[in-house]
Structure 1
Amino acid sequence: MKILVFGRTGQVATELQRQADVIALGRDKADLSDPTACAAAIRSHAPDAVINAAAYTAVDKAERNEDAATVINGDAPAAMAQTCAELGIPFVHISTDYVFDGTGETPFATDHPTGPLGAYGRSKLVGEDAVRAAGGAFVIFRTSWVVSAHGNNFVKTMLRLGAERDRLTIVADQIGGPTPAADIASLCLAAAEQLADDASKSGTYHISGAPDVSWADFARLIFEQSGFSPEVVDIPTTDFPTPAVRPANSRMDNSVTKAVFGLDRPDWRVGLQNILNELGL
């Protein structure tokens, strides 16, 4: 199966290239700020399926650059999905828990009403709506707290700070499921193949690691498994203000993903150990 991937150096794109023989396009080959170029790339490569693993992910910067974020996260996926629909090939797109309002303590179901808190979530929701409206075979995977041995993510940040400091204050009232990029990539590849055979699997799904945890407790296990030993002090979100509001509840219900694709939520503790092993820790 010839799979075209938008993204080359990001966390999920890197894992896709490790797991399968894909054509991965970086910004130099397909700049998502130019949606027409993305559509042209699909037509040029004539793949059997397309996975969009690229996005504007600078959550705080999006607050002052919402137009740019919306082009990359909304207009570009729209162009990709429309082109795939015209060509009759499946399209797999990665979205985020930030499309929800982050309230309550119950995991968000796939059909829960959306309500983004900021520009990043709004831009991703524009993309979701466009992919669904394109009329082709598609899967949208909403995910959360993506981590890996490469790129910028919470694990890498904690390892750097853990080596530098004896005491860290970490937010403890935001709860979610850390999700290894390797598991997201595996599911994207499986979805692309299954969609090619059964377009009725089109829909919106969730993929997040288990068990749900706070950032502070996630940090504690990172240090426990890596051998660093800074003191972790719990703080509320109000003590760590950021330009963009973060959702307090990032829990997501993965039951529909399990029912349709037969895959359980990945255990992020196993994924974390794999990441640390890759980093030589």
Structure 2
Amino acid sequence: MLSLKNNLLKIKVNPVGAELSRITSTNHRTEFMWNGNPDVWNGIAPILFPIVGGLKDDTFFHNGKSYKLPRHGFARRNASMQLHEQTKDKLTFKLVSDEALLKQYPFQFEFYTSYELTENTIIVSHEVKNANAKDMYFSLGAHPAFKCPVFADENYSDYYLEFETEEHSATHLLDSNSGLQNNQTELILNHTNKLPLHYQLFDRDALIFKDLKSKKITLSSKNKGAILSMSYEDFPYLGIWAKPNADYVCIEPWLGVADNINSNQRLKDKEAILKLAPNEVFKASYTISIEHSLLV
């Protein structure tokens, strides 16, 4: 593990997959991230690249050829992710396309992820460089899991997510067998800015929002108040998820979504796919801020 620390926070990053693995109060040792218990879910904050969600039959087509990619792509848990640069306040990791990855994804790329610690905030930045002489197609997303409840004297149902503005939005449902979008929706946010958490909320998989006005969401406790917030200006979609009956909640800013059950599987036609011209660079970032009063 690699670490960054200041007078308020300490974070740890697993070089395998460049996965943010711990956020801890420097003074109180309070943990804010899920512990990755493999009996429940062994992820903590996997990076989703070059796709978000699943592909139909785990397959996409490009220029007449078929390619296999696992759900959420190959960046997560990738041991080829290398530490690129380290300073007192920042860690940057790099993943470069190689022969093995080209068999899964026919584009040369450089992919960077950095974590910068500033006061009570972690800035998570991603950068994609197209190293081809042709357009590159990709998606990008985050999947951080936050401990819930944070404190031992609380229950999961004491917590709620608060959006920065009132929302009227439906989740886009996933097929229970394939994990693909099934063209059905269900109203979740009915002119409200609060989403109460309970263990049955994710019985039908993740909540997927495509039309939120909010670009900031706060995990709050009925007893303790605000715990942490995420700002995601660069990400148009938001996923919220946990395993049923698990003591965490994932807040997932996305640039991309899972395939539809009726997808034609052509990568360039994939919903929300990003296109990057030769030698161009794409950048996106989000922040995680821990409530200051919990750290002093």
- Tell me the TM-score normalized by structure 1: 0.30
Higher strand share: 2
Higher helix share: 1
- Tell me the TM-score normalized by structure 2: 0.29
